[in-house]
Structure 1
Amino acid sequence: MKSTSSASPSASPDHAAPEPVRALLFDAVAGNREVERLDQVLGLSPAQEQLLWIDLQDPDEAVLQTIARQYSLPEAAIAGYLGTQTNPALENCGRCFWLRVVAVADGPNDEYSGTVLTIIAGANMVLTLHRTPVEFLESFKEGKRCRGGMGTLGSGSFVAALLDWHLGTYFEAVSRFELAVERLEVDILSTNPRDCVPELRTLRKGASRLRRMLAPHRIVFTALPRPDFRPEEDEQTDRHFRALDAHYERAMDMVENARDLVVGSFELFSSQTALVANETMKILTFVTVVIGVLAVIGGILGMNFEAPFFKTGVLGFTVAVVLMLVLAAGSILLGRRRRWF
């Protein structure tokens, strides 16, 4: 995540606090312009071929209320941001609509945390609100800062673009998750496997966490393309919303597949554990057979019969011991040659 000081060229290196107002005015005719002062933002009135994007990180409530009054933003949206709710939401407020989503943020030890993002769309303007930095917003801003033509987009299409980047955080999280699973499976299939149960437990929790974070967004992504949600939207915006819903379904499929990957890795680990146990049992069985044969020989030699061999004394004892050692060594060589162990 880029620091706030790098986002503003005029900021000093010591300045770690975020700017109170950061805005981009996309103008298809005059070019894009960045605005960082509140009075300048309040003086903007985007017209046709223009789109104003205001991004506020943990803004002061007074600043937020001032911007809301200036652009006639719905009170429900402001209350939704200022409240404590974190679940995804979508509401149509007539001329405006607002929504709340949760983006994936990296956490320690492959754990996934969420960053709540509130988006308010009005006439030729979009307001994004978040209490902590949102990495994909910074990437989106850097990519669109100098790109022309953004002013021709309506606010609905611009929101669709932001939400598509929001879904990208889940695609990236699943990609990192799959990489972690692949590394674990390489360790499982190594010649010296280790206990992977703690890592499997962590991966299973991560997959469940991703699903719990993404699944509630269905109320947002399935409602946006419905004809009754924004009947006044143009066909281009409707196409963007329908494509966004398809991307959401793909993201859900990938998250569901992530859980299946963990199950497959556990089955692979169980199979490898069973193979190691089988090898151990083969060795133990072979040793038992060899010792059993030697015990039979020893038992025969211990019988109290008046056979000449039993009267040979030290020589007979030596011959018996050597015979048993040769038999044991021959059995081991035969077992190695036949790959019994």
Structure 2
Amino acid sequence: MDTTQGRGNDLSGGSAPDEGPARVRAMLFDAASATREITGLDAALVMDPSKDQLLWIDLHAPDETELARVAERLSLPMGAVDGYAGTDTNPALENCGKCFWVRVVAVADSPSPAFSGTVLTIVAGKNVVATLHRQPVEFLDNFRDGQGGRSGVGALTSGSFVSALLEWHLGTYFSAVSRFELAVERLEVDVLSTAPRDCLEELRSLRKGASRLRRMLAPHRGVFTALGRPDFRPEEDEQTERHFRALDTHYERAMDMVENARDLVVGTFELFSSQTALSANETMKVLTFVTVVVGVLAVIGGILGMNFEAPFFKTGVAGFSVAVVLMLVLAAGSILWGKHKRWF
């Protein structure tokens, strides 16, 4: 038995399970004819797909009775049942001989960088695949809508079909990184604007979002590595094994993109720091220039206040007016000269 399972960290975002009856969606993919949608769990469980058929049963928030019936139909061990019904949300993979099950965490679609996850358990038996989840999983609906009319899916083995689902699962991380990069680009435009604003709070949120995304994806490494090992499912055909190995490669790409997202935040923070330093530098330049001008005027005022019997000091109001006008002209000229030289 091959088991890869983590414990102790809640990677799903902490959302509560949906209440109400289970939502069952089942599809029978047939390589020789059109895909059929099966109505109801009872009708799906009594079906016995042939070699050129593949049955997919999707259960949203099933109760214990429905879960037990699915487990009996697929001859699942208790580990697979506990993988869904338990409180552990870390990614896990277990080879049960005739079947295998995998638990992954997909990224919920959200416009904010505060990413949350949705736990999905996938069970694969002979020509049957069951997906179990407590919250809606958007990529399953997209996959169903995209593959509903394609009969070629029926030619896939259950392992290859699981690989396709896991590819879509990794796609949620690629989409999350794309949304994250867009948020970073918008923030950088604001930082470089002529009237920059305080972006520290947004930078803090982006940094937390990047770390959250990495914590959600990183624990999947053991799952995808184990899927690509030759001894995991030696009875699978070569095509399925290639699909498993490709998954590991795509996981590494997703991990690289998530790591790059963290670097983007660091780069944006450095850009913000540089802009803040430039603004502070401009302020210091203005203050220095004002200090010089005021200092020159103070020197002139000090000279005029010296107690010498010079004729100019006896000119009264006329002399005072001339001195004030000259000081104003000197200050204005200094300001214009500073503007011309772009000192501020």
CA-CA distance at 1:65 after TM superposition: 1.0
Letter paired with 2:336: L
Q: Distance in 1 between matches of 2:320 and 2:41?
A: 105
Distance across 1 between alignment mates of 2:222 and 2:164: 18
1:310 aligned counterpart, secondary structure: helix
Matched, 1:223 2:226: yes
* TM-superposition CA deviations, 1:107-150 (whole Å, max 9, x none): 47431111000001111110100001000000000111111211
Verify the 8 A CA contact 2:22 2:63 in the aligned structure 1.
Answer: no
Q: TM-score, normalised by structure 2?
A: 0.92
Amino acid at match of 2:200: V
Is the Cα–Cα contact under 8 Å of residues 101 and 116 in structure 1 kept in the other structure? Answer: yes
* AA at the equivalent of 2:247: L
Which residue of the partner structure matches residue 213 of structure 1?
A: 216
Residues 1:39 and 2:42 aligned together: yes
Shift of 1:315: 1.4
| Cα distance in 2, alignment partners of residues 168 and 20 from structure 1 | 24
| Contact 2:184/2:268 (8 A) holds in 1 | yes
Match of 1:83 among 86, 94, 103: 86
Structure 2's unaligned 5+ residue stretches are 1-18
Give the corresponding residue for 1:283. 286
Q: What is the rounded CA distance, in whole Å, between the counterparts of 1:111 and 1:66 in structure 2?
A: 37
Structure 1 residue runs of 5 or longer lacking an equivalent are 1-15
RMSD: 1.3
Q: Which runs of 4+ in 1 moved over 4 A?
A: 16-20
Mapped to 1, the partners of 2:84 and 2:311 lie a distance apart of 103
For 1:319 and 1:44, the matched residues in 2 are separated by 107
Corresponding residue to 1:267 among 270, 274, 291: 270
Residues 1:23 and 2:26 aligned together: yes
Contact kept, 8 Å, 2:57 with 2:129, in 1: the verdict is yes
Decide which of 97, 109, 114 is 2:117's aligned counterpart: 114
Q: CA deviation at 1:80?
A: 1.4
User: Deviation at 1:76?
Assistant: 1.4
2:195 aligned with 1:198: no
Mapping for residues 301-320 of structure 1, pairs under 5 Å = 301-320=304-323
> In the alignment, which residue of structure 2 is the partner of 1:49?
52
| 2:108 counterpart SS class | strand
Q: Is the 8 A contact 1:74 1:96 kept in 2?
A: no
Q: Can you list the C-alpha shifts for 1:239-273, whole angstroms capped at 9, x where unaligned?
A: 11111111100000000000000000000000000
Choose which of 93, 97, 100 in structure 1 pairs with 2:96: 93
Verify the 8 A CA contact 1:20 1:60 in the aligned structure 2.
no
Match of 1:328 among 307, 328, 331: 331
The alpha carbon displacement at 1:31 in A equals 2.0
